[in-house]
Structure 1
Amino acid sequence: MRTTQAARLLAAGAALTALTLLSACGGGSRHHEDEALASKAPAPVRPKGKPAPVSVLPGMPPVEDPADVYAADRPNRLSPVVKDFPSRVYVPNTNSNTVTVIDPATYRILETIPVGRQPQHVVPSWDLKTLWVNNDLGNSLTPIDPRTGRAGKPVDVHDPYNLYFTPDGKYAVVMASMDRQLVFRDAHTMKVVKSVPVSCYGVNHADFSVDGRYFIVSCEFSGEVLKVDTARMKVVAQEKLPLRGAMPQDVKLSPDGKRFYIADMAADGVWVLDGDRFTRPELLATGKGAHGLYISRDSREMYISNRGEGSISIFDFAAGRLTRKWHLPGGGSPDMGGVSADGKILWLSGRYNSEVYAIDTRTGAELARIKVGSGPHGLAVYPQPGRYSLGHTGIFR
Structure 2
Amino acid sequence: MKTNLPLVALATLLSGSALAGQAPGPAASPDIPISARDRFYSSDQFSNTVSVVNPADNKLLGVIRLGDITPANLSPLYRGQLLVHGMGVSPDAKTLLAISIGSNSVSFIDTATNAVRQTTYVGRSPHEAFFTPDGREVWVSIRGEDYIAVLDAATGKETARITVPNGPGMTIFSPDGRYGYVCSSFSPETVVIDVKSRTIAGRVKQESPFCPDIAATPDGAQVWLTLKDVGRTMVFDAKPPFAVIKTIETGPLTNHVNFARTKSGQFAYVTIGGLNQVKVFRTDDFSPVATIPTGALPHGLWPSGDGSRIYVGLENADQAAVIDTASNTVIATIPIGQGPQGVVYVPNAVPDGDGMQNLQPLGAAGKSSTLTLSGADGKPVTQVTLFDQGVLQTLQAAVTGLPPKKPFVLALSTDPKGSGAIEPLAAFMTNPAGAAVVNAIGPIRQVTQGAPEAARRYLVIVEGKPGETGSPVQLQKAP
**TM-score of the alignment, normalized to the shorter chain, above 0.5:** yes
| 1:86–1:146 contact (8 Å) kept in structure 2 | no
1:92 aligns with 2:64: no
Moved more, 177-186 or 210-219: 210-219
Question: 1:224 and 1:230, CA in 2 relative to 1: closer, same or farther beyond 3 A?
Answer: same
Q: Residue type matched to 1:291 in 2?
A: N
User: Aligned partners of 1:221, 1:363: CA distance in 2, in Å?
Assistant: 37
| 2:213–2:255 contact (8 Å) kept in structure 1 | yes
Q: 2:236 aligns with which of 273, 285, 296?
A: 273
Match of 2:160, SS state, is: strand
- Structure 2 residue aligned with 1:70: 26
Match of 1:179, SS state, is: coil
Q: Residue type matched to 1:119 in 2?
A: V
Deviations 1:353-379 (A, max 9, x none): 322211222222222223333221112
| 1:157–1:190 contact (8 Å) kept in structure 2 | no
- Structure 1 residue aligned with 2:89: 124
Question: 1:141 and 1:254, CA in 2 relative to 1: closer, same or farther beyond 3 A?
Answer: closer
Q: Residue type matched to 1:351 in 2?
A: E
The alignment of Structure 1 onto Structure 2 pairs a total of residues equal to 310
| 2:122–2:149 contact (8 Å) kept in structure 1 | no
> Offset at 1:211?
4.3
Q: Residue type matched to 1:347 in 2?
A: Y
| 2:88–2:131 contact (8 Å) kept in structure 1 | no
Deviations 1:86-136 (A, max 9, x none): 222222111211112222233332212211211112311233221121122
Match of 1:71, SS state, is: coil
> Offset at 1:271?
0.7
> Offset at 1:192?
2.0
- Structure 2 residue aligned with 1:7: none
Question: 1:209 and 1:132, CA in 2 relative to 1: closer, same or farther beyond 3 A?
Answer: closer
Match of 1:161, SS state, is: strand
1:332 aligns with 2:283: no
- Structure 1 residue aligned with 2:78: none
- Structure 2 residue aligned with 1:192: 158
Root-mean-square deviation over aligned CA pairs: 2.8
1:240 aligns with 2:196: no
Question: 1:73 and 1:268, CA in 2 relative to 1: closer, same or farther beyond 3 A?
Answer: farther
Question: 1:196 and 1:246, CA in 2 relative to 1: closer, same or farther beyond 3 A?
Answer: closer
> Offset at 1:261?
1.4
| 2:208–2:227 contact (8 Å) kept in structure 1 | no
- Structure 2 residue aligned with 1:34: none
Q: Residue type matched to 2:51 in 1?
A: T
- Structure 1 residue aligned with 2:189: 224
> Offset at 1:384?
6.4
- Structure 2 residue aligned with 1:253: 216
Q: In the TM superposition, what are the counterparts of 1:272-311 in structure 2 within 5 Å?
A: 272-275=235-238, 276-280=240-244, 282-298=246-262, 300-311=266-277
Q: Residue type matched to 2:102 in 1?
A: L
| Runs of 4 or more above 6 Å deviation | none
> Offset at 1:309?
0.9
1:175 aligns with 2:141: yes
Match of 1:148, SS state, is: coil
Q: 1:320 aligns with which of 280, 286, 308?
A: 286
- Structure 2 residue aligned with 1:107: 58
Deviations 1:1-36 (A, max 9, x none): xxxxxxxxxxxxxxxxxxxxxxxxxxxxxxxxxxxx
User: Aligned partners of 1:255, 1:382: CA distance in 2, in Å?
Assistant: 16
Question: 1:109 and 1:279, CA in 2 relative to 1: closer, same or farther beyond 3 A?
Answer: closer
| 2:44–2:339 contact (8 Å) kept in structure 1 | yes
- Structure 2 residue aligned with 1:138: 103
Q: In the TM superposition, what are the counterparts of 1:370-389 in structure 2 within 5 Å?
A: 370-383=334-347
User: Aligned partners of 1:140, 1:208: CA distance in 2, in Å?
Assistant: 21
Q: 1:155 aligns with which of 120, 129, 132?
A: 120
Any unmatched runs of 5+ in structure 2? 1-19, 67-80, 350-479
User: Aligned partners of 2:177, 2:132: CA distance in 1, in Å?
Assistant: 8
TM-score computed with the length of structure 1 as normaliser? 0.70
User: Aligned partners of 2:114, 2:233: CA distance in 1, in Å?
Assistant: 35
- Structure 2 residue aligned with 1:347: 311
> Offset at 1:154?
2.7
> Offset at 1:281?
5.4
Moved more, 364-373 or 174-183: 364-373
Deviations 1:196-240 (A, max 9, x none): 233x33212233335433222110122321121211212344443
State, as a whole percentage, how many aligned pairs show the same letter. Answer: 25
> Offset at 1:315?
1.3
Match of 1:154, SS state, is: strand
User: Aligned partners of 1:75, 1:167: CA distance in 2, in Å?
Assistant: 17
| 1:69–1:256 contact (8 Å) kept in structure 2 | no
User: Aligned partners of 2:147, 2:329: CA distance in 1, in Å?
Assistant: 40
User: Aligned partners of 1:369, 1:85: CA distance in 2, in Å?
Assistant: 17
Q: Residue type matched to 2:96 in 1?
A: L
Q: Residue type matched to 1:143 in 2?
A: F
Q: Residue type matched to 1:94 in 2?
A: Q
Q: Which protein is richer in strand relative to its size?
A: 2
